Structure 1
Amino acid sequence: MNANPDRVADSAKPEVTAFFDPATNTISYIVKDPGSDACAVFDSVMDIDYAAGRITHQSADAVIADIQARGLRLEWLIETHVHADHLSAAPYIQGRLGGRIGIGEKITVVQDVFGKVFNEGTEFRRDGSQFDRLFHDGDTYAIGGMAALVLHTPGHTPACMTHVIGDAAFVGDTLFMPDGGSARADFPGGDARTLYRSIRRVLDLPLQTRLFMCHDYGPNGRDIRWETTVAEERAHNIHVKDGVTEDQFVTLREARDKTLAMPRLILPSLQVNMRAGALPPADADGRVFLRVPVNGL
């Protein structure tokens, strides 16, 4: 099925509630069908004190509390991609509220790469079966009476997907706010040229489409923001506004990526998120460990 951007203008306008996690600069969302009590959660956060090796759930508990206070019914827990900067709380939320966990079908590529990096062995399944649904480009699914359309938008990672729901699109790390530009493309499986083409696909959506970011870092000290529009991105995005060619973007993106350090939580994040948010299996004594591959990334 091919994506048809024109359908966005004729669909419902979802109600979007944002939750900002300052420890990881991540924005999670509750997306509610205005015609029912159905909702979805996008890109949830599980808290970790890396130095202490302690997992907690304050961020996820805030999302759960809001859903319960409004009497909503959780149908989906969506991961826009395998995050390298925060741990997913999807199974924790699912255990309390239900719902299905979904991600792009290229999760299998990510699992294969990082299964080797972390020496996971044959017991770690690399078929995406830890998730309830693997989305393909052009797939649709329902949140109550709302139809959601899934676009494959790789470049940051192979599994990146943009979810178009009514007049809103949840872009993951494919785009940042106009003054933030775009996400890095130097992770394994990432590619700046592919990212440019994915971004232009998003920017071919109707101009009034609301775009919701997965991260914001407050460039130049401004307040944190997470919502913009296709029109604003096309007019003002510092990396990919209209008139920037593919070659210009690739040159800029690759040069910038060479200056960036690895995300602080990349090692625990990848190990957990490629398992749909589950921790690695416990050892015979019930202890859970996250690995640090030396010179492995």
Structure 2
Amino acid sequence: MNSYPLDMSVRPEVTAFFDDATNTISYVVNDPGSNACAVIDSVMDIDYAAGRLTYDHADKIISFITDNSLTLEWIIETHVHADHLSAAPYIQQKLGGRIGIGDQIMVVQDTFGKIFNEGTEFQRDGSQFDALFKEGDIYTIGNMQAVAIFTPGHTPACMVHVIGDAAFVGDTLFMPDGGSARADFPGGDAATLYDSIQKVLALPDDMRLFMCHDYGPNGRDIKWETTVGEEKLHNIHAGEGKTREDFIKFRTARDASLGMPRLILPSLQVNMRAGEVPRDSEGSLMLKVPLNRI
């Protein structure tokens, strides 16, 4: 059983925004009792081959918030994404709000600061973010209470955010027929991911779960919402009585067959900086391509 201070009587209003280019789902979560809201896992558009950044996806979120007269209080990153770039600073500039992530971001920054040879000017203390959450931390969105749950395994800094009867799981879980995310990035670990998934599955069965990604396995339509009960019964990697040993064996073998995400190099450089794009010595926006390092 979980020991988190949950309030399942609160049902936040959740609006999803699907990004076709990265199969990412971003969310606006608003308090039904006030005009306060949060944005979870935003996306900045990139044409990697052309070296061009745009903000169409983020602008849709901004328009939704302004059109509904909402007040943005939080911009949450469930983890340092390796497959899309965060639009957090862009949204913050337009609407305000505090950018938050798990405090183990410092582990990610230290690891990838070395891989990208960032030098001493790159701060590895999480100071690029406005808030660093620890296991069990509580924060508020209007009148709603949110709880941050530490769920490492996919990355060292993954967190699930529970807001009322809704939990935003990042890449800790996929839809039941999608299973789970990989655990072979630096700092990832299949056994740790299994344990984190069990923390999520210990939440109440009727807790709504919202995914960060969906790929429409077997040709089905894209989906992003399920429940703890459905995951416990039907998750193809970690449900249906799958043991820890089963999961580790499968996840390790599966990960060994996967190539790197298309946007991993720009994503990590940007997302470990809270969505800010690095600049060169002349102040121009610039990304690096380290060779044979990951």
TM-score, normalization by structure 2? 0.98
- C-alpha deviation, 1:281, in angstroms: 2.3
- Counterpart for residue 239 of structure 2: 241
Tell me, what secondary structure is at the counterpart of 2:61?
helix
For residues 251 and 273 of structure 2, the distance between their equivalents in structure 1, rounded to whole angstroms, comes to 29
- Counterpart for residue 255 of structure 1: 253
Q: Does the CA contact (< 8 Å) of 1:8 and 1:164 recur in 2?
A: no
- Counterpart for residue 115 of structure 2: 117
Tell me, what secondary structure is at the counterpart of 1:80?
coil
Q: Does the CA contact (< 8 Å) of 2:2 and 2:199 recur in 1?
A: no
User: Please, which moves more after superposition, 62-71 or 233-242?
Assistant: 233-242
- Counterpart for residue 20 of structure 2: 22
- Counterpart for residue 51 of structure 1: 49
Letter in 2 for 1:208: D
For 1:56-97, what per-residue CA distance to the aligned partner results, in whole angstroms no more than 9, with x for missing partners?
A: 000000000000000000000000000000000000000000
- Counterpart for residue 262 of structure 2: 264
Letter in 1 for 2:286: F
- Structure 2 unmatched runs, 5+: none
Q: How does 1:51-70 map to 2 (within 5 A)?
A: 51-70=49-68
- Structure 1 unmatched runs, 5+: none
Letter in 1 for 2:38: A
- Counterpart for residue 210 of structure 1: 208
For residues 36 and 2 of structure 2, the distance between their equivalents in structure 1, rounded to whole angstroms, comes to 24
- C-alpha deviation, 1:288, in angstroms: 1.7
Q: Taking every aligned residue pair, what percent have the same amino acid on both sides?
A: 70
Would you say how many aligned residue pairs link Structure 1 and Structure 2? 294
Tell me, yes or no, if structure 1 residue 283 matches structure 2 residue 281. yes
Runs of 4+ in 1 over 3 A off after TM superposition: none
For residues 189 and 276 of structure 1, the distance between their equivalents in structure 2, rounded to whole angstroms, comes to 19
- C-alpha deviation, 1:289, in angstroms: 1.3
Tell me, yes or no, if structure 1 residue 4 matches structure 2 residue 3. yes
Root-mean-square deviation (CA), in Å?
Answer: 1.1
Letter in 2 for 1:194: T
Q: Does the CA contact (< 8 Å) of 1:3 and 1:151 recur in 2?
A: no
For residues 200 and 161 of structure 1, the distance between their equivalents in structure 2, rounded to whole angstroms, comes to 13
For 1:8-33, what per-residue CA distance to the aligned partner results, in whole angstroms no more than 9, with x for missing partners?
A: 32x41000000000000000000000
For residues 32 and 141 of structure 1, the distance between their equivalents in structure 2, rounded to whole angstroms, comes to 14
For residues 202 and 285 of structure 2, the distance between their equivalents in structure 1, rounded to whole angstroms, comes to 45
For residues 135 and 77 of structure 1, the distance between their equivalents in structure 2, rounded to whole angstroms, comes to 13
For residues 177 and 141 of structure 2, the distance between their equivalents in structure 1, rounded to whole angstroms, comes to 32
For residues 2 and 112 of structure 2, the distance between their equivalents in structure 1, rounded to whole angstroms, comes to 30
Q: Does the CA contact (< 8 Å) of 1:8 and 1:206 recur in 2?
A: no
TM-score, normalization by structure 1? 0.97
For residues 40 and 169 of structure 1, the distance between their equivalents in structure 2, rounded to whole angstroms, comes to 13
For residues 252 and 62 of structure 1, the distance between their equivalents in structure 2, rounded to whole angstroms, comes to 38
For residues 178 and 192 of structure 2, the distance between their equivalents in structure 1, rounded to whole angstroms, comes to 19
- C-alpha deviation, 1:243, in angstroms: 1.0
For residues 242 and 166 of structure 1, the distance between their equivalents in structure 2, rounded to whole angstroms, comes to 26
Q: Does the CA contact (< 8 Å) of 1:3 and 1:149 recur in 2?
A: no
For residues 32 and 129 of structure 2, the distance between their equivalents in structure 1, rounded to whole angstroms, comes to 27
